[in-house]
Chains A and B, each alone.
Chain A
Amino acid sequence: MYDIASIYQAVSVADAIRALEADPSALVIAGGTDVLIKIREGKLAGCRLVSIHELGEELSGVTQAPNGDIEIGPLTTFRGVTFSKIIRGNIPVLGEATDQAGGPQLRAAGTIGGNVCNGITSADSASTLMALDAVLRVRGPRGEREVPISQWYKGVGKVDLAPYELLVKIVIPRDNYEGYAGHYIKYAQRSAMDIATLGVSCLVKLSGDKKVVEDAALAFGVAGPVPMRATSAEAAVRGLPVEQAVTAIGKAALEDVNPRTSWRASKEFRIQLVEELSGRALAEAARRGGAAI
């Protein structure tokens, strides 16, 4: 038995927002793979919950808008993202990232919306969504607003979401994925059922002859208190031949990150991972984009 004071099962998004407005201290539970575990650990013991678990019709699924933007319902499971034809065909790196969270059963229950709303730096989808400059569409009692993911994270476990708001869409603008190839590397102690020691996602757009990095996006999880972009590393490799970029990106990324020591790994080791894995992620992304490297 979970130590839950009350649970309200919302029947629609509007109903969930009403319930959250009536009880602003209530927590949203979606897939349950984070919230229930925190309750079991005692961290959220005695909480009141608003369940959106059964709102799949309104909040689940991946679609492509007429303008080419890809819209992901936040209640789409990790598995739903990985196996979506739209994701596989357009942003395979995102499906690759969601395929590395937990294990198969967790990926069938945990949701991508929960992964970005819990504000955790190690969230497997977060660094790729950062690299893609995703836009988070949030609905509250007074309508919708859009938050660029660069403004979303406010601190450890804190995101730009009022108590009575729900994330209703994760939008990947067409310009942010079209023409880019990507690669996500999760460094962890085990290949499954583990939390990232460091996560690196790299997107790259190559020149027509596939020899030069026209644009790159590099983002990290666990390289700071929240998922982050490495903007100076991106600037440092723009316009460089691919091989030079692969060599240069890791050192440049050290300017951007601020990892800490935790029981999982030391700050020094994480810095080593940032330097080494950035180059590997860029090299693989470029290879997928057609570079002969």
Chain B
Amino acid sequence: MMEILSCTVNGKPVEVGVDPRESLADTLRERLGLTSVKKGCEVGECGACTVLVDGTAIDSCIYLAVWAQGKTILTVEGLQNENGELNPIQRAFVEEAAVQCGFCTPGIIMSAVEIVGSGQQYTREELRKLISGHLCRCTGYQNILNAVERAVNEAHKFVGKSTDA
């Protein structure tokens, strides 16, 4: 049994046939080819499948595709600008060497998009909590935090880093 899912993905209207039993992560990866969406734990613990649904970061592995009807979805593929250049948040991850194996990176970048988009400043401790829904087995998180902090600060044109690291 298939249903038609109509939604906006990375700025473009999409109509795609989905099985009502499939997760949004499955739809994005298998039907739309958006393989930045990683399947790690598939039980909402690791955050690798994080995407924005109507601006909110959720684990797409525990979100049924049919629930996305009429909604707006953003994945890492939707971040680069028209020239194919990296978005400032992605650049911050490169600058801070926040990427090792890279499996957790797209998910954390999507949480960072939500964090930066909130328009607020955060302490290092608050940022730690805001990315606590992601597991990274490589980096030890310090460079990831540096990258998220840099992205937030750049978005606000703040100079320097907080000192409570």
Contacts and interface: CB of A to CB of B under 8 A. Distances in A.
A7 interface: yes
Interface string B49-60: 010000011110
B43 A109 contact: no
A32 B62 contact: yes
A13 interface: no
B21 interface: yes
B149 interface: no
Interface string B6-47: 000000000000011111001000000000000000111101
A41 B45 CA distance: 14
Given A40-B42, A102-B133, A104-B131, 12 more contacts: A1-B22, A41-B43, A103-B133, A104-B111, A104-B129, A105-B111, A105-B133, A109-B59, A191-B129, A191-B132, A192-B132, A193-B45
Contacts of A191: 129, 132
Interface residues of B, number: 30
Nearest to A106: B44
B132 to A, nearest CB: 3
A54 B22 contact: no
Interface of B: 19-23, 26, 42-45, 47, 50, 56-59, 62-64, 66-67, 69, 111, 129-135
B20 A109 contact: no
Contacts of B42: 40
Tell me the dominant secondary structure on chain A's binding face: loop
Contacts of A103: 47, 132-134
B133 A51 contact: no
Interface residues of A, number: 25
Contacts of B111: 104-105
Given A1-B19, A102-B44, A105-B57, A51 B129 contact: no
- Residue of A2, A3, A4, A105 with highest tally of chain B CB at under 10 A: A105
Interface in A1-47: 1-4, 7, 9, 32-33, 36-37, 40-41
Interface string A87-109: 00000000000000011111011
Nearest to A104: B133
Given A104-B130, A106-B133, A192-B133, A1 B26 contact: yes
